[in-house]
Structure 1
């Protein structure tokens, strides 16, 4: 009986030890003995999209002009209410700016938008300096990460690794080779999977995130097994078998 109990225990240990090992190393195909250098193919410069909310500030040598352009009474949201701050890009890709009226910014970078507004303002105000910022640049990281949440990005530029860092990195169960990215642009939803074990992801158009991107980290099958109802009963089953084996051994040795 003792021999059978030992054999059963060894079999259980062997089965656990033979479970599939996963690659938990990012860019594991990079060799450790050589230096890798590549041109940055995608600089991640975000583009202004419809429904974005922008902060637009104007500074010039005229205090009166500064006050006038700081007014935000022309900014009306989709529900017809005035917003306290920020200019929403409407369905035509335009914002309503004081004095200038409607300005089309859809598809421009922040720098391009600043240049366009400055060129229009300088027709009536000398030395106008414009600063444009996103107010809704947020990304969401969910799934097998330590701190899933929605994060506001202050510098308007973030890549997948930085997003995972903000979320506390993946848990050991996170599938680094199969990260799901969900992106909505111009009414179109794109879902793509990227492999963070492969260095080629650095040149992917999805390495840098855009406003409102959602990153989902899928759990490995091992977690499903661990948290299944049958597996939750495993410690109780093992303890019961051990107790029965001990009692049987004691009874037979009498």
Structure 2
């Protein structure tokens, strides 16, 4: 039986990952800043426990890791999923907004991985960092988010290089996924006149994706479960893109259909 810690586990991808790991027989602790959504996820499955904490706070995450290892006897896998916004151009990003974006999108994963390393080394465990297609491409007016997601790949590679003899570290880069955060972004498109409603907005942003649709959170959760599981024991330092094929599209040829 394996034990997992999932940050940003109260909604979206994090909640789907926690549910999938619990359904597969693991004990799962979900962490995040907001207690209510964590407890809602935990109440839906007896193998999930909520432990609220701010993943940018080293002392707080250290206590979570200590509580997990004391309660379950060890820690086998960590999913660093916490993230946030950072939507503006470089010129329009204030110092405060820059720090906030990097904290949300990068520091959370760094701190979580650092505090979990000792028990993961003991168990020969695995870290999966949930990044984004924004780690490979740049969207408009998303400087803080894009830089943070790019940097996560460097974090994963450093972890894999320095600790790969005992701990595997890999990144998952989703494209558009139906989550509360993505719903908010679709609403911005609706309010700006680019789509009639949220469903139309999702259709618009995935129009040129080969699969022609956004992912469901459960589809990302399945990939994370694979990377944590026994079929991926020789996968280390990898970046696994899960975007319906968006990253293979040659933008200059879109006019040709």
Q: Place the TM-score, normalised by the shorter chain, in its bin.
A: under 0.3
Query: Quick check: which one's helix share is greater?
Result: 2
TM-score when normalising by structure 1 = 0.23
Instruction: Pick the structure with greater CA Rg.
Output: 1
